[in-house]
Amino acid sequence: MSSDIPRKLEICEIEMHVKLQANIQGVVSDKAESKLIIESLICHTNENTGFLIWLGDYCMSCIFQKTSIKNMSYSILAYDDDDSSPTSIVHFVKNIKDKHTLVDTIFNLANTKIKDENLNYEIQFLSCSSELTNCERKRIMKKHRQNYINEITPPAIKKQKLAKKQMKYKTIDPLVKQQVNSKRVNDYKIMAKEKKQKILENKRTIYEVLDKSKKEEILTKNMNYKKTMSNEQKKKILEKKRVKYETLDQSKKEEVLTKQ
C-alpha cells in the first residue's frame, strides 16, 4: 500500500529532511466508526508536521499549520488519477479549522474510491524540517507566489508590467544600480558550487526546449549586447576567461581548443 519514506527530499531546490514518526494501520467495517477512529488517531505534537493517509488504495497528504498557541489549521492535497486522461485532477483544501471537518473532508474526497465494505487504512505521521531561516523561507515563498502570478497573468498585462519596470529602472540613480549589481555578483560568488551548477543546468534545460526562433532571438540579443559593450568591459570578460582557462588541467584545455 505505502512505500518507504525517503529521508531527504528536494523541494524548490531546498533539501528537506523527512522523518517517519509513526505508522498506524487498521481495518474497519463501518464508515461512521472509521471516521471516529481516524479522528482519534490524528495527533499533532511538535514533532509532527503532517501525515500521509491511505484509505484503501487512495492516498492523501495533510499538512499541519499552527495558527496560534492552541489552534491548528489543516490542508489536504490529493490527486485523482484517470486512466483515460493524461492529467490528474488535483484536490487542494486549505484552512480546515478542526479535526472533525478534516476527517469529513478526507472521506468526502475518498468517497468514490472506497469500494469495499471493510476499509483498510494506514496513516504515516511525518516530521519535515530544513535548515532554512525564516527570512529565506519567506523569500522562497514570495518567489514561487510571484511565479504563479506570472503564469496566470495575460501576456498583454505582462508586457505592460515589464515596460513599467524598464522605465523605473531607467530612472534609478546610477550609484544605486551599481550597488544592486554588485550585490548580485557577490551573492553569486559566495553561492555554493552545487547551487551554481543547478542554476546553469536549469538554464540549459530551459534553453533546449525553446523553439528555433526563440533561440535565435536570444543569440541576437547577446550579440547586440556585446556590440554595445565598452572596451573596458570586453577586457574584463577576456581576463576572466583567461584566468579560468589557466586553472584548467591539460585535458580540459585541449578539449576547449578542439571545440574552437
Question: Residue 152: inside a domain, yes or no?
Answer: no
The answer to whether residue 138 scores a pLDDT higher than 70 is yes
The predicted model gives 226-242 an average pLDDT of 82
Cβ atoms 103, 42 nearer than 8 A: yes
Q: State residue 107's pLDDT score.
A: 87
- The closest of 97, 80, 98 to 89, measured between CA atoms, is 80
pLDDT at res. 238: 85
Q: Which pLDDT score, from 0 to 100, does residue 2 have?
A: 47
> Rounded mean pLDDT of 115-119?
73
Q: Where are the beta strands (DSSP E) in the chain?
A: 8-11, 14-28, 50-55, 58-66, 72-80, 89-96, 119-129
143 pLDDT higher than 70: yes
Residues spanned by the domain of 52: 8-129
Mean pLDDT score of the chain, rounded to an integer? 81
For residue 179 the three cell numbers come to: 550597488
Q: Can you tell me which residue has the cell 550609484? A: 175
**Residues 6 or more apart whose Cβ sits within 8 Å of residue 19:** 7, 126, 127, 128, 129
Residue 150: C-alpha distances to residues 32, 159, 162 (Å): 44, 11, 11
**In-domain check, residue 93:** yes
The pLDDT of residue 88 is 67
Q: Which band of pLDDT confidence, cut at 50, 70 and 90, is reported for residue 210?
A: confident
Determine the pLDDT at residue 130.
82
Q: Which residue has the higher pLDDT, 165 or 1?
A: 165
Residue pair 35/107 in contact by the 8 Å Cβ criterion:
yes
Reply yes or no on whether the pLDDT at 82 is more than 70.
no
Q: Which residue has better confidence, 26 or 253?
A: 26
The total domain count for the chain is 1
Average pLDDT of the segment spanning 69-92: 75
Can you tell me the mean pLDDT for 187-191? 79
Cα–Cα distance measured from residue 59 to residue 87, given in angstroms and rounded to the nearest whole number: 17
For residues 56 and 167, is the Cβ–Cβ distance under 8 A? no
Mean pLDDT along residues 57-69 = 84
Q: What is the pLDDT of residue 244?
A: 79
Residue range 43-62: mean pLDDT, rounded: 81
Does any domain span residue 108? yes
Whether 56 is in a domain gets the answer yes
Question: Residue 162 pLDDT > 70, yes or no?
Answer: yes
Mean pLDDT of 190-210: 80
Q: What integer pLDDT is reported at residue 192 of this predicted model? A: 78
Q: Which of 26-30, 220-224, 256-260 has the lowest mean pLDDT?
A: 256-260
* Alpha helices for 57-173 (secondary structure H): 99-110, 134-152, 155-171
Look at residue 59 and tell me whether its pLDDT is greater than 50: yes
User: What's the confidence (pLDDT) of residue 111?
Assistant: 79
User: What is the pTM for the complete model shown?
Assistant: 0.54
Lowest-confidence region among 17-31, 45-59, 75-89, 174-188? 75-89
Residues in the chain: 260
User: Is residue 77 exposed (0-12), middle (13-18) or buried (19+ Cβ within 10 Å)?
Assistant: middle
30 lies in a domain? yes
Mean pLDDT, residues 68-90: 74
Both ends of the chain: CA-CA distance in Å? 55
CB atoms within 10 A of CB 78: 21
- 44 confidence band (pLDDT: 50, 70, 90): low
Confidence class for position 1, pLDDT limits 50, 70, 90: very low
Which residue matches cell numbers 523553439? 211
In a domain, 139, yes or no: no
Tell me the one-letter amino acid at 145: R
CB count in 10 Å sphere of residue 51: 24
User: What residues contact residue 123 under an 8 Å CB cut-off, 6+ apart?
Assistant: 22, 23, 24, 25, 38, 41, 42, 51, 52, 53, 54
